Structure 1
Amino acid sequence: MTASYETPVVLDRREGPYGEVALRRHGELLQIIANGCFLMDTSDGRSERLLVDAALAALDGRARPHVLIGGLGVGFSLAHAAADPRWGRITVVERESAIIGWHRHGPLAEVTAAALADPRTEIVEADLLAYVNETSTTFDALCLDIDNGPDWTVTEGNDGLYTPPGLASCARVLTPGGVLAVWSARPSPEFEGTLWNVGFQQVRTEEIPVARGVPDVVHLAVRPG
C-alpha cells in the first residue's frame, strides 16, 4: 500500500545523546523532527541563504573567508555557501550523527551531495558551544542556525550559546572584523542588547519576509578590529 502524500512518513528515527531525532517525508518535503518538535524542512531555504549572504556581505570583500556554519539541518546553508566561489573554507559543526548520516548516505544527499564533495567543506561532529569553547581555529564568519533562535531553543543546553559567556566564545574564534550571523524565528531586542553588552559592534537585524505572522530574522554583529 502506498502512503498518501498527505500523511508524513517516518524514514528514519534514532536515539542520540540529546534525545530522539527523526527524518520524515511529507509529500515532496523532507522534515527533521527533534524530540517530537518540528525543526525544519526542505520547503524553502530563503532564511538559510540570507544567513550566509548577509554574513559574506558584512565582511566587505574579504578574500576567501573561512565560514563556520553552526547546524547542518537540511543543508541549505551549506549548499548555498558551497555554490559561492567567494568563500574559502567551509566548516559545518553538527552534533547529531544521524543528521550527518542522512546527508552522506541518505535522502538529504539530494540537497548537499555537491557541497559535501567540495574540497573546501569539512563536517565536524560536535556540540557547537563546546566546539567554540575549545577549538584553536579562527573564522571570518560564524553562521548559526541552531534550534529556532535565541528566545526559543528546542534542545536543552543550546540556550547557553546565546548567553554572554557563549557569545564571548563566539567572539574568541572570530578574526578581527569577523561577522557573527544568527538566524531566529522572531526578532529579539534582548539578544541584540546582549550582543552589544559582550562587545560586538555594528549590531543589526535583517528581516526575512514570510507569508504570514512574525518575520524570521538574521541578527548580525561584528567583532571589533
Structure 2
Amino acid sequence: MLPWIQLDRATIPGDGDELRLKSRGSEFSIMLGSTELMNSRLSGSEEALATLAYERIAGRKNACMLIGGLGMGFTLRAALGVLPDDARVVVAELVPAVVEWARGPMAELHKGTLDDPRVEIHIGDVGGLIRSKSTAYDAILLDVDNGPDGLTRPSNDSLYNHTGLRAAKAALRANGVLAVWSSAPDSAFTRRLREVGFATDEVNVRANGKRGGARHVLWMATKR
C-alpha cells in the first residue's frame, strides 16, 4: 500500500491549531490533529447537503446560496450542478491555504468550480458573514466542523447556539433553508433549531451516497 505523504500544513486563524493536507496516490485527506476532517474518497453526504438544500429552494429567481467551508469542493460542485445560471454562490473559507490547495494539488478534484462565474470566494469567518447580512440568502450550508459544535475551533460553537441560529434565520430570506452537516446525530441541536423557530427535518445519508459507508446526518431547517 502506498504511504501517506504530507503535502502542506496551515494554521487556522484565531486559535493556532493546524490543518494538514496529505495524499496517498490519487487520494487526499485533510487532518486536524489525529482527526480526519475529510477524505476525497467520501463525498456522498457533502453532495447531498447541496442537492437536498436546493430541492427546498428550487424555482427561485436569482437564488443566493452561502456555503460555509470549501473543503474538497464536493458541496460546491454539487450546488453548481443543480443551481441555474442566474444563481449566485458565496463560499466562505476561513483558511486561505484551503483555497490555495483547491487551485494547486487538489485542482483535479475541484474541476474549475472556483472559476465558475456564479461563484464568489470569501476568505474569512462564515459566522461573521452571516451576522453582517439580513435576508440575503435563500440557503446557508454549514460544513465547517464534524457536527454542530466547534471542532475546528472553539469559537465555531457560536454558529450552533441559540444566538447563532437566530442570526442564520435573520440572514435567510422567507422560506430559506439552513442546512448543517454532521458525522453523528445531536438531539440537543435539533431541539435548538426548533426552539429558534425553524421547521426542521433530520435526514440520514451515507458517507459515499449509494455506495454506502458511514451514516451521516443532515439538518434541513426552513425559516417559517
Q: TM-score, normalised by structure 1?
A: 0.89
The match for 1:55 is 53
Q: Secondary structure at 1:147's aligned position in 2?
A: coil
The match for 1:96 is 95
- Structure 1 residue 110 displacement after superposition: 1.1
The match for 2:154 is 156
- Structure 1 residue 96 displacement after superposition: 0.4
Relative distance call for 1:108 and 1:180 in structure 2 (3 A) is same
2: distance between equivalents of 1:135 and 1:8?
42
- The alignment-based identity, stated in percent, is 35
Instruction: Choose between structure 1 and 2 for higher RCO, CA contacts under 8 A separated by at least 6 residues.
Output: 2
1:107-186 correspondence runs (5 A): 107-135=105-133, 138-151=136-149, 153-186=151-184
Gaps spanning 5+ residues in structure 1: where? Answer: none
What do the CA deviations read for 1:149-185 (whole angstroms, capped 9, x no partner)? 1157232211111000011111111001101110111
Contact (CA 8 Å) 2:94, 2:125: kept in 1 or not? yes
Relative distance call for 1:80 and 1:212 in structure 2 (3 A) is closer
What do the CA deviations read for 1:89-117 (whole angstroms, capped 9, x no partner)? 0110010011011112x112112242111
- My pick for the range that moved more, 23-32 or 178-187, is 23-32
Query: How many residue pairs end up in the alignment?
Result: 217
RMSD over equivalenced CA pairs, Å: 1.9
Q: TM-score, normalised by structure 2?
A: 0.89
Please tell me the residue identity of whatever aligns with 1:59: I
Please tell me the residue identity of whatever aligns with 2:223: R
2: distance between equivalents of 1:117 and 1:154?
27
- My pick for the range that moved more, 115-124 or 131-140, is 131-140
Question: Does 1:218 find its partner at 2:215?
Answer: no
Contact (CA 8 Å) 2:66, 2:137: kept in 1 or not? yes
- Structure 1 residue 192 displacement after superposition: 1.0
Contact (CA 8 Å) 1:21, 1:32: kept in 2 or not? yes
Gaps spanning 5+ residues in structure 2: where? Answer: none
2: distance between equivalents of 1:58 and 1:15?
36
